[in-house]
Amino acid sequence: MTAIPNRIGSIDQDVFKQLESEVRSYCRSFDTVFAKAKGARLWDKKGREYIDFFAGAGALNYGHNNERIRSRIVDYMMNDGITHSLDMATEAKERFLLTFQHKILKPRGLSYKLMFPGPTGTNSVESALKIARKVTGRTNVIAFTNAFHGMSLGSLAATGNAYKRGGAGVSLSGTTFLPYDGYMGPLFDTSLLMEKMLNDAGSGVDKPAAVIVETMQGEGGLNAASAKWLQRLESLCREHEMLLIVDDVQMGCGRTGTFFSFEEAGIRPDIVCLSKSIGGYGLPMALTLIKPEYDIWNPGEHNGTFRGNNLGFVAATEAIAFWEDGTLELRIKEHSFSIRKFLERTAARYGGKIKEVRGKGMIQGLVFNNPDDAGQLCRKAFERGVIMETSGSRDEVAKLMPPLTIEKELLAEGMAKLEASLSEMYDFAEQKEPVGIHP
* Binding to its own copies in span 329-388, by CB under 8 A: none
| Residue with smaller CB distance to its own copies, 87 or 264 | 87
Subset of 264-293 contacting its own copies (CB under 8 A): 275-276, 281-284, 288, 290
| Residue with smaller CB distance to its own copies, 139 or 231 | 139
Told to check if 63 binds its own copies by CB under 8 A, we report: no
Subset of 217-246 contacting its own copies (CB under 8 A): 220-221
Least separation in angstroms between residue 251's CB and its own copies is 13
In whole angstroms, give the CA distance from residue 429 to residue 126. 48
Subset of 141-170 contacting its own copies (CB under 8 A): 143-147, 150-155, 157-170
| Window of 74-82, 251-259, 336-344, 368-376 that interacts with its own copies by CB under 8 A | 74-82
In whole angstroms, give the CA distance from residue 245 to residue 132. 9
Question: Which residues have CB under 8 Å from 349's CB, separation 6+?
Answer: none
Subset of 168-197 contacting its own copies (CB under 8 A): 168-177, 179, 183-184, 188, 192-193, 196-197
Q: How far is CA 414 from the centre of its chain?
A: 21
Least separation in angstroms between residue 423's CB and its own copies is 27
In the 8-state DSSP scheme, what is residue 403? -
| Residue with smaller CB distance to its own copies, 156 or 422 | 156
Amino acid identity, residue 174? Answer: G
Q: 253 in helix, strand or coil?
A: coil
Closest CA to 145 of 187, 193, 202: 193
Name the β-bridge partners of 245.
212, 271
Subset of 4-33 contacting its own copies (CB under 8 A): 4-5, 7-8, 13, 15-16, 19-28, 30, 32-33
Told to check if 97 binds its own copies by CB under 8 A, we report: yes
Told to check if 306 binds its own copies by CB under 8 A, we report: yes
In whole angstroms, give the CA distance from residue 153 to residue 171. 10
| Window of 57-65, 333-341, 411-419, 428-436 that interacts with its own copies by CB under 8 A | 57-65
| Residue with smaller CB distance to its own copies, 285 or 354 | 285
| Residue with smaller CB distance to its own copies, 147 or 381 | 147
In whole angstroms, give the CA distance from residue 245 to residue 237. 10
Q: At CA 226, angle to CA 249 and CA 234, rounded to 5?
A: 75
Least separation in angstroms between residue 88's CB and its own copies is 5
Query: Is residue 57 within 8 Å of 282, Cβ to Cβ?
Result: no
The DSSP annotation for 28-72 comes to: HHS-S-EEEEEBTEEEETT--EEEESSHHHHT-TT-BT-HHHHHH
Told to check if 109 binds its own copies by CB under 8 A, we report: no
Number of residues that bind its own copies (CB under 8 A): 165
Amino acid identity, residue 406? Answer: I
For strand 271-274 and strand 243-247, is the pairing parallel, antiparallel, or unpaired? Answer: parallel
| Residue with smaller CB distance to its own copies, 93 or 331 | 93
